[in-house]
Amino acid sequence: MRHGEPVGGRRYRGQQDDPLSEKGWRQMREAVAVPVPWDVIVTSPLRRCAGFAAELAQCHALPLEEDPRLMEIRFGAWEGRTAEQVTEHDPEALMKFYRDPVCHRPPGAEKLADFRTRITGVWDELLDRHDKHHLLIVAHAGVIRMILCQVLGMPEERMFSIQVPNAGITRIRVDGVSEARLAQLVSHAAPLR
C-alpha cells in the first residue's frame, strides 16, 4: 500500500520525512476495509508510511515491523522539489529522466541498479521470513514500482511507467518463494474487501 498525500502536496520527496496531511490520513483510512485481511504489517520508517502502519497495527493487534530498506528512492538534488521547481532551469529535465532514468537521474540521486538491489533484497527476505502469511507492506510509489518490476520481469528503467496512486493497494499473490504473480491492482478509491 502506498502512503497517502503528505503535507506539502505533490513533490519529489524521496527520503525527505514529511508526515501525512489530513487528506492523506483520510485516504489511508478509507482505503482499508474492516476486518483487515493481513497477518503482519511491514513499513518504511518514513512518517508518511510508519504513522498509518502503527495506527493500523495497534487498532487490529497486528505485529508491526519497520525496515529502512523500504524507504523511497533517493532523488538527490530534487528531494522536496515540485516538478515546476525541477524544470525551472532545465525545462527538459523531467522528460529526460522519465525517458532514461539510468543516464539522466537527478544529481546525487540513488542509482536505479542500487535501488533495485535494495528493494529486491528486502522483498526476497520478506517472502522467506513470512512464508504463508498475508503481509501488508506500507511503502512508497518507487518501492511498489520496483517490486512490480521484479515480479513482472520488467527492466528497472521502465518502473516509472507504472502508476501508483496515493493510498493505492497493489495485491501480489505469491505461489511459492520463486514464483510470484500479479493478482490484482486496486486503486485508493476501492477499499480492500
With respect to residue 154, please indicate whether it lies within any of the assigned structural domains. Answer: yes
Orientation of helix 47-59 relative to helix 22-31, angle to 10°: 50
Residue 182 has pLDDT above 60, yes or no: no
Residue 171 has pLDDT above 90, yes or no: yes
Residue length, the chain?
Answer: 193
Q: Can you give the pLDDT at residue 180?
A: 47
pLDDT digits (tens, 9 = 90+) for 83-141: 999 999 999 999 999 999 999 999 999 999 999 999 999 999 999 999 889 999 999 99
* Mean pLDDT estimate for the chain: 90
Q: Can you give the pLDDT at residue 190?
A: 41
With respect to residue 47, please indicate whether it lies within any of the assigned structural domains. Answer: yes
With respect to residue 140, please indicate whether it lies within any of the assigned structural domains. Answer: yes
Characterise 109 by phi-psi region: left (phi > 0), alpha (psi -120 to 50), beta (else): beta
Q: Are 138 and 52 in contact (CB under 8 A)?
A: yes
Q: 66-70, 162-166, 172-176: which range is least confident on average?
A: 172-176
Q: Are 165 and 141 in contact (CB under 8 A)?
A: no
Q: How does residue 33 score in pLDDT terms, banded at 50, 70 and 90?
A: confident
With respect to residue 94, please indicate whether it lies within any of the assigned structural domains. Answer: yes
With respect to residue 89, please indicate whether it lies within any of the assigned structural domains. Answer: yes
With respect to residue 67, please indicate whether it lies within any of the assigned structural domains. Answer: yes
Locus of grid cell 508526515: 19
Say whether 161 sits in a helix, a strand or coil. helix
Q: Are 145 and 159 in contact (CB under 8 A)?
A: yes
The domain spanning residue 127 has which CATH number?
A: 3.40.50.1240
Question: What is the number of domains present in the chain?
Answer: 1
Q: Can you give the pLDDT at residue 109?
A: 97
Residue 189 has pLDDT above 60, yes or no: no
Q: Can you give the pLDDT at residue 35?
A: 86
Q: Are 68 and 49 in contact (CB under 8 A)?
A: no
Q: Are 13 and 72 in contact (CB under 8 A)?
A: yes
Domain enclosing residue 73, as ranges? 22-186
Mean pLDDT value of segment 58-77: 97
With respect to residue 17, please indicate whether it lies within any of the assigned structural domains. Answer: no
Q: How does residue 174 score in pLDDT terms, banded at 50, 70 and 90?
A: confident
With respect to residue 6, please indicate whether it lies within any of the assigned structural domains. Answer: no
